[in-house]
Amino acid sequence: MPVPRARLLTRALAAVLPVALLVPAAPAAGADTSTTAHGPQPVARGYLGAVSSIDADATAIGTAVLRKGGNAVDAAVATAAALGVTDPFSAGIGGGGFFVYYDAKSRTVRTLDGRETAPAAADESLFLENGSPLPFWEAVTSGLSVGVPGTPATWRDALKAWGSRPLAALMRPAERLARSGFTVDETFHRQVASNAERFSAFPASRDLFLPGGAPPEVGSTFTNPELADTYARLAATGTADLYNGEVAADIADTVQDPPVDPDAGLTVRPGKLTVEDLAGYRTAEREPTHVRYRGLDVYGMPAPSSGGLTVGQALNMLETKDLAGMDESAYLHHFLESTRIAFADRNRWIGDPAYSDVPSAELLSQEFADSRACLIDPDSALTSPVAPGDPRSPQPCAQAAPGAPTPYEGEHTTHVTTADKWGNVVAYTLTIEQEGGSGIVVPGRGFLLNNELTDFSFAPSASGVPDPNLPAAGKRPRSSMAPTIVLRHGKPVLAVGSPGGASIITTVLQVLLGRLDRDLTLPEAVAAPRASQRNSPTAQVERAFLEQPATAGLIERGQRFADTPSEIGAVTAVERLRDGRWLAAAEPERRGGGSASVVLPVRLPWDR
Ligand code: GLY
């Protein structure tokens, strides 16, 4: 991270300033900082721990756990449980996710794979009908797309391994929130409205989310007593009820016989998920991905997520480029080209490692990165789809086989980042896939089922290119979730993640580059306009990105952007500042703005 002289001076001052000169940030130290009179607060700085999420109630619950002596893992679980209440269209106990944890005592990074699995009855033809792939949206709203949820098991197993509080205690605040309710905001209202048609086809989804036949009004109180009861059952049974009990039986029934209103005129295909599939679910502890970048250690989630491998490969490709010295157009061109190429490799090589040989070490080798970076022309964009390279025998600048385009993935999901007073850090991304998942609420249980299995390729993505992401019994679909923790000399400096389907990877990379190479503060890097190039002829783009002066230089180089700009990602992040404070950052605008909080807020005069 380049350090300008002025900042070196202020850091030196911070080191010698008496504590009395530090300015406690309003509200007073120790108070919750996740909301202000003006709404959620996207940035907080201070001591004793930090939480950042997309939702103020969830962040407040996580911060309260820290304040009462819980650690970062406890806070992440409590925050995630609350998000299942207030952000149920992105994540919840009906879905899965990936948990990355830095353990301050051992100075190691650990990961937990809580990805959903396909039922034992699944095979390559899961999404084929008469030999052809189903239309994507018909697959989404179906029992076929529902994988065995991994989120409750992730909470249970993360707490068992690294937590300090019982699951029951950490689920209680979320249970209370579901019972007493929270205030509906624009984002919640919009998410119901955009799903209203399919929610209205399922009586359980309709009764919950469309009371009186319409989305809940902004400003009204939304309660979910059935979810509160389900949380209480999970808490009492240590999640066993969802894997071996009555909730498991209800999930299997719902998937096998989707409870659709016969008058809705919607064809909802049943799935084959069984109680045995639920009983057999296991999380997996996996070795994190690791790359060195600018003297830092960057850790992420390995396969079946492509997040850590693809972010890591792109960083390796950019390591030899002087991004800090480039003008903004040249820098953004290199960023876009790195992910264009890395996605070609991701699509060819990454899937569930239990089903195909994922050459993870080779994908992250500097030799492979250099052989791919040599394709980047500083003055001209490559034509997509770029062909994948072969990390097992890197050929510099090779461009032989046909390329595989990146299949569509849902753009929802959510991310939680926490840190505690001991220096432990969590980056946890969780999801039910599409906004609203499968659209199917389990009757009487108050939560939506995922549609994660649509993250599988329905058919090989390009003829002649092997696809490691076809469905199979018990297999985990490839993910793009990229919870990331960065260390300097074994200690955390940054933790970051985002929702956004395949754009998660480009978003996390862009935030890392913004912070590590471009001298943006973390809040600036989070807020910066985004683009996402995933080996497609046009990159996904935000309107603000198109409107910035540097974009002209990108277009001159042949970069092309989608005609319809769309919001990309919703980052939450935490940084350990050099003066020892935590900086928690969330979105100022995207998804209605996120919520950052620290246990003991302290502002210094030079904070920008
Ligand atoms: N469903 C989003 C992801 O796994 O990347």
Spell out the SS3 assignment of 481-499. Answer: CCCEEEEECCEEEEEEECC
**Residues 505 and 481 sit within 8 Å (Cβ to Cβ):** no
Residue 138: C-alpha distances to residues 267, 269, 521, 594 (Å): 8, 8, 43, 32
Centre of ligand 1 from the C-alpha of residue 73, in Å: 22
DSSP 455: G
494-528 burial code (b ≥16 CB/10 A, e <16): bbbbbbbbbbbbbbbbbbbbbbbbbebbbbebbbb
Q: What angle (nearest 5°) sits at the alpha carbon of residue 567, between those of residues 136 and 555?
A: 100
- Residue 235 and residue 38: Cα distance in Å, rounded? 35
Amino acid 136: pLDDT? 95
Name which residue sits closest to atom 4 of ligand 1, judged by CA.
479
413 is catalytic: yes
219 labeled binding residue: no
pTM: 0.94
- Residue 314 and residue 497: Cα distance in Å, rounded? 16
Cα torsion 38, 40, 44, 46 to 10°: value is: 90
501 labeled binding residue: yes
- Residue 82 and residue 159: Cα distance in Å, rounded? 16
Atom of ligand 1 nearest to the CA of 452: 1
- Residue 148 and residue 546: Cα distance in Å, rounded? 40
Adjacent-strand bridge partners of 600: 47
**Residues 134 and 127 sit within 8 Å (Cβ to Cβ):** yes
Give every residue of the chain whose pLDDT is below 50, as ranges. 1-38
Tokens of 553: 């230089």
Name which residue sits closest to atom 1 of ligand 1, judged by CA.
433
Which three-class secondary structure state does DSSP give residue 417?
strand
- Quickly list DSSP for 485-536: EEEETTEEEEEEE--STTHHHHHHHHHHHHHHTS---HHHHHHS--EE-SSS
Atom of ligand 1 nearest to the CA of 413: 2
- Residue 75 and residue 51: Cα distance in Å, rounded? 8
- Residue 303 and residue 362: Cα distance in Å, rounded? 13
Centre of ligand 1 from the C-alpha of residue 479, in Å: 4
Atom of ligand 1 nearest to the CA of 504: 5
Name which residue sits closest to atom 2 of ligand 1, judged by CA.
501
Which three-class secondary structure state does DSSP give residue 202?
coil
Q: What's the full length of the chain, in residues?
A: 608
Centre of ligand 1 from the C-alpha of residue 454, in Å: 9
Centre of ligand 1 from the C-alpha of residue 94, in Å: 14
Tokens of 195: 């799903």
**Residues 496 and 573 sit within 8 Å (Cβ to Cβ):** yes
Centre of ligand 1 from the C-alpha of residue 411, in Å: 8
Domains and CATH numbers, the chain: 43-287+406-601 (3.60.20.40)
What residues contact 564, with CB distance under 8 A and at least 6 apart? none
Distance of CA 292 to the CA centre of its chain: 22
536 labeled binding residue: no
Tokens of 415: 């991310």
Centre of ligand 1 from the C-alpha of residue 122, in Å: 19
Centre of ligand 1 from the C-alpha of residue 359, in Å: 21
165 labeled binding residue: no
What residues contact 485, with CB distance under 8 A and at least 6 apart? 100, 102, 109, 298, 299, 300, 425, 427, 492, 494, 495
Written as one letter, the residue type at 467 is D
Tokens of 464: 């002649």
- Radius of gyration from C-alpha coordinates of the chain: 23
Determine which helix (DSSP H) or strand (DSSP E) holds 413, and give its type and residue range: none
Catalytic residue among 151, 413, 454, 484: 413
- Residue 105 and residue 69: Cα distance in Å, rounded? 17
Amino acid 399: pLDDT? 74
Name which residue sits closest to atom 3 of ligand 1, judged by CA.
479
* Alpha helices per DSSP H over 17-49: none
Question: Among residues 220, 249, 265, 231, which one has the least CA distance to residue 88?
Answer: 231
Centre of ligand 1 from the C-alpha of residue 384, in Å: 23
Amino acid 27: pLDDT? 37
- Residue 438 and residue 452: Cα distance in Å, rounded? 8
Centre of ligand 1 from the C-alpha of residue 431, in Å: 7
- Residue 251 and residue 552: Cα distance in Å, rounded? 51
**Residues 416 and 428 sit within 8 Å (Cβ to Cβ):** yes
Other Cβ atoms less than 10 A from the Cβ of 292: the count is 13
Amino acid 386: pLDDT? 93
User: Tokens 């390329």 label which residue?
Assistant: 403
Which three-class secondary structure state does DSSP give residue 437?
coil
Atom of ligand 1 nearest to the CA of 477: 4
Other Cβ atoms less than 10 A from the Cβ of 26: the count is 11
Best of 448, 452, 456 to mutate for ligand 1, by most ligand atoms within 8 A of CB?
A: 452
- Quickly list DSSP for 130-143: TTEEPPHHHHHSSS
List, chain by chain if needed, residues with CB within 6 Å of any ligand 1 atom. Answer: 409-410, 413, 431, 433, 455, 479-481, 501, 504
Other Cβ atoms less than 10 A from the Cβ of 180: the count is 11
Other Cβ atoms less than 10 A from the Cβ of 210: the count is 17
Best of 352, 478, 480, 534 to mutate for ligand 1, by most ligand atoms within 8 A of CB?
A: 480
Tokens of 90: 């992105």
User: Tokens 């620290």 label which residue?
Assistant: 598
Residue 265: C-alpha distances to residues 127, 166, 200, 201, 202 (Å): 21, 45, 11, 8, 11
Residue 565: C-alpha distances to residues 335, 497, 556, 562 (Å): 19, 22, 19, 6
Amino acid 338: pLDDT? 98
Adjacent-strand bridge partners of 101: 110, 426
Best of 413, 414, 438, 476 to mutate for ligand 1, by most ligand atoms within 8 A of CB?
A: 413
Alpha-carbon dihedral sign for residues 271, 175, 50, 111:
negative
Amino acid 606: pLDDT? 80
Atom of ligand 1 nearest to the CA of 434: 1
Other Cβ atoms less than 10 A from the Cβ of 493: the count is 20
**Residues 339 and 533 sit within 8 Å (Cβ to Cβ):** yes
Best of 116, 140, 346, 504 to mutate for ligand 1, by most ligand atoms within 8 A of CB?
A: 504
What residues contact 64, with CB distance under 8 A and at least 6 apart? 32, 78, 173
Which three-class secondary structure state does DSSP give residue 423?
coil
479 labeled binding residue: yes
